[in-house]
């Protein structure tokens, strides 16, 4: 029986969220929270493995209590258990403190075989938390996995996107993967799944729950985050001052602009 | 310190951009630039790294490091960082670089800032990382209170230094205990990508203004004429018109070409996040209120099916004339 863990994050809908131009702060009330779109592929990958090989899927998230809805979405999509790390002392975490808290929670769980993460989040856009969790857990990882080829004899074979080419890798379990959108098409939960998930239990763990796992609570949240935002600016709507050209003149003028631009290059 | 990026024994151009940026930061702080080169049979690049700005190249060349793999590579980076205690470590914000750097940062217990546009030194002499956040809607200035400050730097945001063959530098060969099996093995290359958008100087971006897949041929023709490549927006990939290798945008490729020609692209936040830092942007779109125009240098409100064929014709004419003039 495989035990697969999927760390997920609740994010604002990035296409709709509004920014306060003065402060650069995100107005989270302007758009409802949703599960990070990249994480849907991680859940789907985990559920596919479960269907084929048997096992359980545990979704885990860190965030305010509202993040429970993202975990319910994960339950509707096929996760068996959901855990939310929620505590003020987790707040203000950068990727190091986030990955540390998630790794502590994973250590507290019974043994696991695989951790599958989305390649990045739409709000943080770092892609760091997955590999950082792997290092905290002392297990191998592969990032930007675009397909899972085989899983047998305690090994998983994957194809990873190395940027300019794809490489085949083999990892010994337990291992961590971060997966790209190419890996699958997440299925939509049915109404029945959603109703079941609404009633399901989402466990909430605090910093005190992780203390028993031998974790250092000084490394959680803001206190455990070495990076600090010194300032934030909102770039004024790119002063590109678009020069408009009429359709009739387009060919002539664009040809001129393009050739001049190419000339610079050469 | 710069981590040189290498794949299949070939040092990648991002390495020289990182050295350019590191030189700038190091000169302000009056410190040296170290460059860590990990691999097997990569010694031939040592001089080049010095010509491009390194004061000392730390070479870890070992058959066990032939394949680029994040666990061993991050271990080497961690060992070298502990030994040399650099102020900062710069790594390319590539798939390989992000994976190695994150693992190393966790092992070192230090901060890592992803996908930076710049790394600066402020009046207090602190290193400041500058990065876009929320799909580029805001720019954050980030400091790291642990040492080393680590950052991955985007493609094409830093300029490589001109190759100076008179530059002198030291080479240190290190042999490290690599610990044998780390639980991950590279079995081999599956395939090269059809296109490397992040390296392209000219990209013709195609969006929903195209009515059917066959029509992309005119964009390809335009791209070929200019020595560029085509890219597509997410809907075209989702429709299966082109593989994701060609996708420009947040969930595809982040590009920064000299020239980006957006055809029938409205400019969704997810697309803009992938291309808005291009040098020059030309947009052709039927809808005058399309957001793409706010990010373009030149805009045409018009039908790509009328504009593009005429533009191709005009460019052909001009290119032929120029060639004639040179003979």
Q: ipTM of this predicted complex? A: 0.91
The CATH code for residues B197-326 is 3.40.50.1220
Q: What is the pLDDT of residues A80-102, one digit of tens each?
A: 999 999 999 999 999 999 999 99
Q: In whole angstroms, what is the distance from residue A224 CA to residue A100 CA?
A: 9
**Which A residues 109-138 touch B at CB under 8 Å?**
122-136
Average pLDDT over residues A194-210: 95
**What is the residue range of A110's domain?**
2-224
CB contact under 8 A, A163 and B145: no
Q: Which residues of A touch B101 (CB under 8 A)?
A: 128
**Least CB–CB distance from A232: residue in B140, B259, B300:** B140
Distance from CA of B152 to the nearest CA of A (A): 9
A147: domain CATH number is 3.40.50.620
Strand ranges of the sheet holding B202-206, from the earlier edge strand across to the other edge: A243-245, B298-301, B280-285, B259-263, B202-206, B229-232
What's the structural domain count of chain A?
Answer: 1
Is residue B327 pLDDT above 50, yes or no? no
Which residues, numbered 22 to 81 in chain A, qualify as contacts with chain B under a Cβ-Cβ cut-off of 8 Å?
Answer: 24, 26, 37-38
Q: What pLDDT is recorded for position A25?
A: 62
Distance CA A139, CA A50 (A): 21
Vertex B215: Cα angle to B213 and B216 (nearest 5): 75
Chain A nearest CA to B166, separation (Å): 26
Place of tokens 């650069």: A24
Question: A25-45 pLDDT, tens per residue?
Answer: 666 666 778 999 999 999 999
Per the CB < 8 A criterion, the answer to whether A178 and A119 are in contact is yes
Residues of B in contact with A233 (CB under 8 A): 138-139, 141
- pLDDT (tens digit, 9 = 90+) per residue, B79-100? 999 999 999 999 999 999 999 9
User: Which of A210-219, B83-92, B170-179, B316-325 shows the lowest per-residue confidence on average (mean pLDDT)?
Assistant: B316-325
Would you tell me the crossing angle of helices B95-108 and A95-108 to the nearest 10 degrees? 70
Predicted confidence at residue A168, as pLDDT, reads 98
Whether chain B has a CB inside 8 Å of the CB on A184: the answer is no
- Between chains, do B115 and A125 touch, taking CB under 8 Å as contact? yes
Instruction: Please check whether residue B151 is in contact with residue B88, taking contact to mean a CB–CB distance below 8 angstroms.
Output: yes
Q: Which helix (H) or strand (E) holds B36?
A: strand B34-39
Which residues, including other chains, have CB under 8 Å from residue B17's CB and lie 6 or more apart?
Answer: B92, B153, B155, B156, B157, B158, B159, B160
Q: What is the CATH number assigned to the segment(s) B2-173?
A: 3.40.50.620
Residues A126-177: tens digit of each pLDDT: 999 999 999 999 999 999 999 999 999 999 999 999 998 999 999 999 999 9
Ordered by start, the domain boundaries in chain B are 2-173, 197-326
User: Residue A217 domain-assigned?
Assistant: yes
Is there a contact between A130 and A139 (Cβ–Cβ < 8 Å)? no
* B251 vs A contacts (CB less than 8 Å): 37-38, 181
Restricting to B residues 76-95, those with a Cβ less than 8 Å away from any Cβ of A are: 94-95
B283-324 per-position pLDDT tens digit = 999 999 999 999 999 999 999 999 999 999 999 998 887 766
Mean of pLDDT over chain B = 94
User: pLDDT tens digit string along B33-63?
Assistant: 999 999 999 999 999 999 999 999 999 999 9
The torsion angles phi and psi of B35, rounded to 5 degrees, stand at -130, 125
Report the run of H or E that residue A170 belongs to, with start and end. strand A165-172
Nearest CA in chain A to B250: A122
Q: Where are the beta strands (DSSP E) in B62-215?
A: 88-92, 112-116, 118-121, 127-133, 138-144, 149-153, 170-173, 184-192, 202-206
Q: Is A264 on the interface with B (CB under 8 A)?
A: yes
Confidence tier at A237 by pLDDT (50, 70, 90): low
The reply to whether A252 touches chain B by the CB within 8 Å rule is yes
Q: Distance, in angstroms, between B204 CA and closest chain A CA?
A: 12
Q: How many Cβ atoms from other residues are within 10 Å of residue A258's Cβ?
A: 24
- SS3 for A7-21 is EECEEECCCCCEECC
pLDDT value at residue A266: 45
- Residue A19 domain-assigned (yes or no): yes
Residues of A in contact with B303 (CB under 8 A): 247
Does this chain's domain B2-173 share its CATH topology with B197-326?
Answer: yes
- What pLDDT does A233 receive? 85
Residues B13 and B154: their CA atoms lie apart, in Å, by 12
């Amino acid at each position: 029986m495989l035990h697969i863990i999927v760390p997920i994050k609740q994010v604002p809908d990035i296409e709709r969220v509004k920014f306060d131009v003065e402060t650069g702060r995100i107005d989270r009330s302007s758009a409802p929270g949703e599960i990070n779109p990249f994480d849907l592929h991680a859940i789907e990958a985990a559920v596919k493995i479960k269907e084929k090989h048997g096992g359980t899927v545990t979704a885990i998230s860190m965030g305010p209590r509202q993040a429970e809805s993202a975990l319910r979405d994960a339950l509707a999509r096929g996760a068996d258990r959901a855990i939310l790390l929620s505590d003020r002392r987790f707040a203000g975490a950068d990727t190091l403190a986030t990955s540390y808290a998630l790794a502590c929670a994973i250590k507290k769980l019974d043994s696991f075989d695989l951790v599958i993460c989305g390649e990045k989040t739409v709000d943080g856009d770092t892609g760091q938390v997955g590999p950082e969790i792997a290092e905290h857990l002392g297990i191998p990882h592969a990032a930007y996995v675009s397909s899972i080829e085989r899983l047998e004899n305690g090994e998983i074979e994957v194809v990873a996107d190395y940027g300019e080419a794809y490489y085949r890798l083999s990892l010994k379990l337990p291992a961590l993967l971060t997966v790209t959108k190419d890996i699958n098409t997440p299925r939509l939960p049915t109404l029945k799944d959603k109703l079941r998930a609404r009633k399901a239990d989402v466990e909430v763990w605090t910093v005190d729950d992780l203390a028993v796992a031998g974790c250092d609570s000084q490394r959680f949240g803001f206190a455990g985050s070495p990076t600090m935002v010194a300032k934030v600016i909102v770039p004024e709507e790119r002063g590109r001052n678009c020069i408009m050209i009429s359709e009739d003149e387009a060919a002539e003028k664009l040809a001129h602009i393009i050739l001049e631009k190419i000339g610079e290059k050469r | 310190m710069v981590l040189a990026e290498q794949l299949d024994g070939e040092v990648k151009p991002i390495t020289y951009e990182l050295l350019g940026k590191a030189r700038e930061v190091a000169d302000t702080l009056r410190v040296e630039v170290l460059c860590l080169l990990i691999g097997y049979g990569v010694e031939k690049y040592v001089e080049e790294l010095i010509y491009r700005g390194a004061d000392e190249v730390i070479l870890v060349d070992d058959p066990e490091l032939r394949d680029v793999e994040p666990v061993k590579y991050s271990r080497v980076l961690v060992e070298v960082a502990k030994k040399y205690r650099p102020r900062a470590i710069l790594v390319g914000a590539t798939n390989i670089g992000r994976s190695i750097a994150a693992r190393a940062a966790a092992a070192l217990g230090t901060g890592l800032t992803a996908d930076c546009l710049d790394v600066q030194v402020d009046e207090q002499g602190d290193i400041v990382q500058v990065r876009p956040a929320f799909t580029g809607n805001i720019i954050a200035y980030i400091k790291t209170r642990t040492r080393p400050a680590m950052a991955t730097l985007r493609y094409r945001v830093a300029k490589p230094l001109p190759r100076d063959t008179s530059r002198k530098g030291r080479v240190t060969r290190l042999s490290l205990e690599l610990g044998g099996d780390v639980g991950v093995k590279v079995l081999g290359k599956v395939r090269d990508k059809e296109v490397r958008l992040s390296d392209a100087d000219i990209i013709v971006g195609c969006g929903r203004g195209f009515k059917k897949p066959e029509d992309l041929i005119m964009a390809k023709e335009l791209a070929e004429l200019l020595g560029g490549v085509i890219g597509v927006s997410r809907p075209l990939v989702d429709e299966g018109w082109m593989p994701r290798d060609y996708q420009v945008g947040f969930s595809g490729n982040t590009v920064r070409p000299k020239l980006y020609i957006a055809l029938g692209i409205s400019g969704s936040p997810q697309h803009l996040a992938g291309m808005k830092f291009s040098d020059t942007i030309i947009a052709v779109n039927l809808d005058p209120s399309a957001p793409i125009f706010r990010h373009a240098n030149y805009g045409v409100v018009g039908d790509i099916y009328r504009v593009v064929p005429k533009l191709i014709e005009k460019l052909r004419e001009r290119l032929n004339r120029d060639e004639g003039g040179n003979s």
